[in-house]
């Protein structure tokens, strides 16, 4: 492994937020359409956190395909979220037909997705049939979507051959499954593991954890030196997924690349957590819902 692969540059992405400034005549289509797919039975909250993060970080449209049909209804406290059931009778064709109809700019798939045949059908449609969605510019892949890919060679091959920019956001456990390794081995060599994931996937990878790492086939490895233990709670990764999807969608007509959107998302997420740490007087009890609102404030402060 080359020396370049064994080092990481400090992340300095916050100035990129200036590119998100809006013209007086901006309309919702200029700020991108994000589609979040996941939320199986008992896991709807994960998808809702991703969607709320996308909404509060500036996406023009935020849509959800919820696998749990009982949870796929309008939320009284968040009517801006457009929610529909992901249940289909024809696993082979209907997910693709849904994607064609919705025409998202960015898809975020994985939070609460589960491991059912329905979950696999939606992931397969996203990775294999993206060409029928001409509006689609990038895919953010997290959580159960990563686990499905790790367990299925055909899905792994579909990811590797996907011509659209994909952004993978594994924590060490998910990274270990993708590399057929263990979380402990990932943590023992985080930079080496990141580079191995980039080489295997051929896409952008964000290895979460203390000092989150970002890698790409074409960019220098980055390390985020912000963040704190308050982020060590279920749901903060789902918030990051929605945030990155939103920033990439907004950036499509603002010359912000998917790599830059990923870098900005990681640093804004960590900075918001650091600001909350100060406000709360410590890391205990920081919640993903609070983090979403602080992210909104961070972005507005950076404009």
pLDDT digits (tens, 9 = 90+) for 109-150: 999 999 999 999 999 999 999 999 999 999 999 999 999 999
Packed helices 236-251 and 44-56: angle between N→C axes, nearest 10 degrees: 40
Q: What residue spans of the chain are helical by DSSP H?
A: 44-56, 94-102, 117-128, 143-151, 153-161, 172-178, 183-188, 190-201, 236-251, 258-280, 288-302
* Model confidence, pTM: 0.97
Compute the distance between CA of residue 247 and CA of residue 245 in angstroms, rounded to an integer. Answer: 6
With beta carbons less than 8 A apart as the criterion, state whether 241 and 169 touch: yes
Q: Which domains does the chain have, with CATH numbers?
A: 31-302 (3.40.1190.20)
* Short-list 52, 98, 95, 59, CA closest to 77: 52
Residue 249, SS3 per DSSP: helix
Q: Read off the tokens for 154.
A: 């055909």
The rounded distance, in Å, linking the Cα atoms of 94 and 99 is 9
Angle between helical axes of 94-102 and 117-128 (0-180°, round to 10): 50
pLDDT in single tens digits along all 303 residues of the chain: 333 457 899 999 999 999 999 999 999 999 999 999 999 999 999 999 999 999 999 999 999 999 998 887 766 678 889 999 999 999 999 999 999 999 999 999 999 999 999 999 999 999 999 999 999 999 999 999 999 999 999 999 999 999 999 999 999 999 999 999 999 999 999 999 999 999 999 999 999 999 999 999 999 999 999 999 999 999 999 999 999 999 999 999 899 999 999 999 999 999 999 999 999 999 999 999 999 999 999 999 999
What is the spatial distance between Cα 284 and Cα 277, in angstroms, rounded to a whole number? 9
Distance of CA 18 to the CA centre of its chain: 21
Helices (H) and strands (E) in the chain, counts: 11, 10
Cα distances (angstroms) measured from residue 143 to each of 38, 129, 203, 234: 10, 21, 16, 11
Burial 246-278 (b: 16+ CB within 10 A, else e): bbbbbbbebebbbbbbbbbbbbbbbbbbbbbbe
SS3 278: helix
Residue reference for tokens 């939606």? 122
């Amino acid at each position: 492994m080359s020396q370049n692969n064994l080092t990481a540059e400090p992340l300095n992405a916050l100035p990129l937020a200036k590119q998100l400034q809006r013209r007086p005549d901006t309309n919702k289509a200029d700020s991108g359409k994000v589609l979040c797919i996941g939320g199986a039975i008992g896991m709807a909250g994960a998808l809702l956190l991703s969607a709320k993060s996308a909404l509060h970080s500036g996406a023009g449209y935020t849509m959800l395909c919820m696998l749990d049909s009982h949870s796929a209804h309008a939320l009284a406290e968040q009517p801006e979220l457009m929610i529909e059931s992901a249940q289909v009778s024809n696993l082979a064709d209907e997910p693709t037909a849904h994607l064609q109809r919705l025409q998202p700019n960015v898809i975020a798939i994985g939070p609460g997705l589960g491991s059912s045949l329905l979950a696999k059908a939606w992931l397969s449609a996203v990775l294999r049939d993206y060409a029928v969605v001409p509006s689609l510019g990038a895919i953010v892949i997290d959580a159960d979507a990563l686990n499905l890919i790790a367990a299925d060679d055909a899905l792994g091959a579909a990811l590797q051959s996907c011509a659209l920019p994909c952004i993978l956001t594994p924590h060490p456990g998910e990274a270990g499954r993708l590399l057929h390794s263990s979380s402990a081995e990932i943590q023992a060599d985080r930079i080496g593991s990141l580079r191995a994931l980039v080489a295997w996937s051929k896409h952008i990878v964000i290895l979460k954890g203390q000092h989150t790492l970002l890698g790409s086939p074409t960019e220098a490895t980055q390390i985020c030196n912000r963040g704190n233990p308050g982020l060590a709670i279920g749901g903060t990764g789902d918030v990051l997924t929605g945030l990155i999807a939103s920033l990439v969608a907004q950036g499509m007509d603002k010359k912000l690349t998917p790599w830059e959107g990923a870098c900005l998302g990681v640093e804004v997420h960590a900075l918001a957590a650091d600001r909350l740490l100060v406000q709360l007087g410590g890391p205990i009890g920081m919640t993903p819902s609070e983090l979403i609102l602080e992210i909104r404030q961070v972005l507005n402060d950076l404009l």
